[in-house]
A and B are shown apart, each in its own frame.
Chain A
């Protein structure tokens, strides 16, 4: 079980982004995290996985606990070892590595070579389309293929909890369905809990059991997914947010800025 209690996150010592967020992801469950652009969803996931420090972000207040242990100040590699893996937004791959190397690197925290080999085969069973792309340099893959690689890579760590950031964005409806089916399968077969950040609220809510909606760094609504699905505010809010084109360019600008900051 993952729990956040009044978590506050500040970037660059001044930008307050999470203003006291409390959430829970019970073992084996799928939980959705919804909200507009800039609400703080990705920041929440980064606070959990510990990678905030790479962008000068910091958990300044509150507690993040996993299986009874406080993980708020741990190094990301130790958090991975505890069983939490984040699939970053934007389907980020190691572009110059092959598909196979991308998958393998997911097992970096493990040292059970024989088991790792078996798991690699299992990944290709989950994503048969990747099998013939194995030796391909991953930078040239399509969006759907990338999504499969990043999920396969995350699975290689044998996570107890997977933090999935916008897995469906920009994919064709067919692919979206397939990806969500696989997410469900992972949840059932591997008993992996899933914390799912999505713009596609309706699909996310039909997959999950519980959901949180964030706005401006706070949780504004939460409840069982089927209740949320009937909620008028949520319906309206997500229907209002269909200007995909506009959103994309905003995201790109943000990514560019963030990358620049980190690379200095």
Chain B
């Protein structure tokens, strides 16, 4: 039982990061109806920028974080402006392919930066573990989990109560109608790309606390995509839940099965989960209920 709880706790914490990546993809999808693969790179570059400002230049952590958010915000902004804006009005699949192209281009840059090595970010969160009733709780990961949930809460509140949030929800429903009420849909697209890039970067930075930056960081974006799909693509709570479920599932299945099959279960768990959930609920756990009433 306590091994199970241990896997559960570790999974939950890892799931917090997945949830953030998922949320960043859902944000973009809700507003622009584009499924983005590119967010894996935003996550990776977020971690890299943090390494650069915090690890390499040795700036104080708050300043490093702000500069990192600024840099990744600019990167998201530029991607939207140069690659995705021209796709407005074009078939959605074309926009999806564009994000794939963006992914591949930045992957090249990312590999050049790494030069086949790894980048270790100096540990910025506590590395000790708390022992609670025989369970090990890594402090650093617990902190970043709480922060992830806070980010999630802030986004939720912003959507619910702020003016920009209202504009975004309106944009998410109907671009033309939003335009006719005086909302600049193009500006909304920019804002959403900047915000979601920062969210992806936060996930990248959280990951960098646990694992040094290496070549497969961008692939976390694929897990984020799975999380988003499982949650229904349009639902923030869905992405949160999907992320947590994925983290827990990975850790529990790997924890129990790896000793038997000799490892690798964790890598498969995500795809397995996607398959099962989409078979049962093709629109994801929280696929939007369409209001049909003419």
Could you tell me which A residues sit within 8 Å of B by CB distance? 49-51, 53-56, 75-77, 80-81, 85-86, 88, 92-97, 101, 104-106, 108-109, 137, 139-140, 153, 157, 252, 262-264
Choice from A108, A139, A263 contacting B182 with Cβ under 8 Å = A108
Contacts of A263 in B (CB 8 A): 33, 92
Q: How far is the CA of A153 from the CA of B178 in the complex (A)?
A: 11
Could you tell me which B residues sit within 8 Å of A by CB distance? 33, 89-95, 163, 166-167, 169-170, 173-187, 288, 291, 293-294
Choice from B92, B183, B291 contacting A264 with Cβ under 8 Å = B92
Choice from B93, B94, B166, B175 contacting A104 with Cβ under 8 Å = B166
Given contacts A108-B163, A153-B181, contact A94 B169 (CB under 8 A): yes
B106 to chain A, nearest CB (A): 24
A80 and B181 contacting across the interface, CB-CB below 8 Å = yes
B291 and A262 contacting across the interface, CB-CB below 8 Å = no
A105 and B166 contacting across the interface, CB-CB below 8 Å = yes
B184 and A77 contacting across the interface, CB-CB below 8 Å = yes
B170 and A97 contacting across the interface, CB-CB below 8 Å = yes
Given contacts A51-B180, A157-B182, 5 further A-B contacts (CB under 8 A): A51-B176, A75-B184, A92-B174, A108-B170, A263-B33
25 contacts between A and B (CB under 8 A): A49-B180, A51-B179, A53-B89, A54-B89, A77-B179, A77-B182, A80-B181, A86-B180, A95-B173, A96-B288, A97-B170, A97-B173, A101-B166, A101-B169, A104-B166, A105-B170, A105-B181, A108-B167, A137-B291, A153-B181, A262-B176, A263-B33, A263-B92, A264-B92, A264-B94
Contacts of B163 in A (CB 8 A): 108
B169 and A97 contacting across the interface, CB-CB below 8 Å = yes
Contacts of A76 in B (CB 8 A): 179-180, 182
Contacts of A101 in B (CB 8 A): 166, 169
Contacts of B33 in A (CB 8 A): 263-264
* Beta-carbon nearest neighbor of B89 in chain A: A56
Given contacts A95-B291, A101-B166, A108-B163, contact A157 B181 (CB under 8 A): yes
Contacts of A75 in B (CB 8 A): 184, 186
B167 and A105 contacting across the interface, CB-CB below 8 Å = yes
Contacts of B294 in A (CB 8 A): 252
Given contacts A54-B89, A95-B173, contact A140 B291 (CB under 8 A): yes
Of the candidates B93, B173, B180, B293, the one having the most CB atoms from chain A within 10 angstroms of its own CB is B180
A187 to chain B, nearest CB (A): 20
Given contacts A105-B167, A139-B291, A140-B291, contact A80 B182 (CB under 8 A): yes
B233 to chain A, nearest CB (A): 14
B176 and A94 contacting across the interface, CB-CB below 8 Å = no
Given contacts A92-B174, A139-B293, contact A109 B169 (CB under 8 A): no
Contacts of B186 in A (CB 8 A): 75
A96 and B291 contacting across the interface, CB-CB below 8 Å = yes
Q: How far is the CA of A46 from the CA of B166 in the complex (A)?
A: 24
Q: How far is the CA of A112 from the CA of B90 in the complex (A)?
A: 37
Choice from B91, B95, B182 contacting A85 with Cβ under 8 Å = B182
